[in-house]
């Protein structure tokens, strides 16, 4: 299981020098350095050069660093990869992934470069075809995570916006299930109304309860809420510790179950409890 936190995954335009500098001090678990949608066509060339320089010279600490290149089918994708590869990127985020072959193509390009031997691949799940092919995509070479592209998904599906996201639930759950089956990270899509803290919290709580590892964000003001919601609460940490202690005591007595707060605790609950504690420890380690 991935214990590295991905509670908050912040998009940063690769063309904005000030934003790239500011990101070194933001409380994001991960950063998506974006060369695709956030960069105008006329800025593509300058943006990839600026981003490469920033990744080489700026210290982003323990934050996970994903570079979203343009699709390889565009005129900019190959150039993005050529320039960014020299920085030994931690991960490439590939947009518009419809099938495992899209990931295979990028993986082969990475295989051909010694500097990207350790680079992982993340996939934007933002099309109906990608959702339907989620399992094979999740199992493709170098795959490490899914990012839900909910705006594009809604557009392609003709879905209407609703605060409960009911029209999108199936499209969210299928990639999520595929990610869990493959043991990779799954991060929920963005919440567009970045000044609406209450709405963001509600959507984060929904994504957390579904099983997503975190939330993609479009503004630093959204970081605190995502970090809070996707972290284990003090109550959850306390319960996990008590469950483990009670189960250990029951095991020593030769019993297969324990009781905590009037509820049965079996081995499967201990697995979850240990995951909660591991997640809390990983978050604490990032803050050091």
Domain of residue 86, CATH code: 3.20.20.60
Specify the number of domains making up the chain.
2
Q: Are 222 and 244 part of one and the same domain?
A: no
Query: pTM for this one?
Result: 0.94
- 175 by Cβ neighbours in 10 Å (0-12 / 13-18 / 19+) ranks as buried
Range of the domain at 271: 234-287
The answer on 263 and 198 residing in a single domain is no
Residues 208 and 117 in one domain: yes
Domain for residue 1, yes or no? Answer: no
pLDDT digits (tens, 9 = 90+) for 217-230: 999 999 999 999 99
Residues 272 and 225 in one domain: no
- Long-range CB pairs of 49-56, under 8 A, 24+ apart, other chains included: 49/83, 50/14, 50/15, 50/17, 50/20, 51/14, 51/20, 51/84, 52/83, 52/84, 52/86, 52/87, 54/17, 54/20, 54/21, 55/84, 55/87, 55/89, 56/86, 56/87
Q: What is the pLDDT of residue 286?
A: 85
pLDDT of residue 2 exceeding 70: no
Based on the fold, state whether residues 279 and 192 are members of the same structural domain: no
53 with 152, same domain: the answer is yes
Query: What kind and span of H or E run contains 214?
Result: strand 214-217
Return the pLDDT at 287. 80
The pLDDT of residue 156 is: 97
Report d(CA 268, CA 192) in Å as an integer.
Answer: 37
pLDDT (tens digit per residue) in 166-190:
999 999 999 999 999 999 999 999 9
3 within some domain: no
For the cut 60, the answer to whether the pLDDT of residue 151 exceeds it is: yes
Identify whether residues 125 and 261 lie together within a single domain.
Answer: no
Which pLDDT score, from 0 to 100, does residue 1 have?
53
């Amino acid at each position: 299981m991935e214990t590295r936190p991905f509670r908050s995954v912040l998009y940063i335009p690769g063309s904005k020098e000030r934003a790239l500098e500011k990101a070194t001090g933001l409380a994001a678990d991960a950063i998506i350095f974006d060369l695709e949608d956030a960069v105008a066509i006329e800025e593509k060339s300058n943006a990839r050069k600026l981003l490469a320089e920033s990744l080489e010279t700026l210290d982003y600490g323990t934050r996970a660093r994903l570079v979203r290149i343009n699709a390889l089918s565009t005129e900019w994708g190959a150039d993005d990869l050529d320039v960014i590869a020299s920085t030994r990127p931690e991960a490439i985020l590939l947009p518009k992934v419809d099938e495992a072959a899209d990931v295979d193509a990028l993986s082969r390009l990475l295989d051909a470069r010694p500097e990207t031997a350790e680079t992982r691949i993340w996939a934007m799940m933002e099309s109906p075809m990608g959702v339907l092919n989620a399992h094979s995509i999740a199992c493709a070479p170098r795959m490490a995570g899914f990012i839900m592209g909910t705006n594009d998904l809604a557009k392609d599906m003709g879905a209407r916006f609703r605060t409960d996201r009911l029209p999108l639930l199936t499209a969210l759950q299928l990639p999520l299930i595929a990610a869990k089956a493959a043991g990779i990270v799954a991060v929920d899509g963005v919440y567009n109304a970045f000044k609406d803290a209450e709405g963001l919290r509600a959507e984060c709580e929904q994504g957390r309860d579904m099983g997503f590892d975190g939330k993609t964000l479009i503004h630093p003001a959204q970081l605190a809420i995502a970090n809070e919601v996707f972290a284990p609460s003090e109550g959850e940490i306390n319960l996990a510790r008590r469950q483990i202690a009670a189960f250990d005591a029951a095991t020593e007595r030769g019993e297969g179950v324990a009781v905590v707060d009037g509820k049965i605790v079996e081995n499967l609950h201990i697995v979850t409890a240990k995951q909660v504690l591991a997640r809390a420890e990983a978050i604490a380690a990032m803050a050091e």
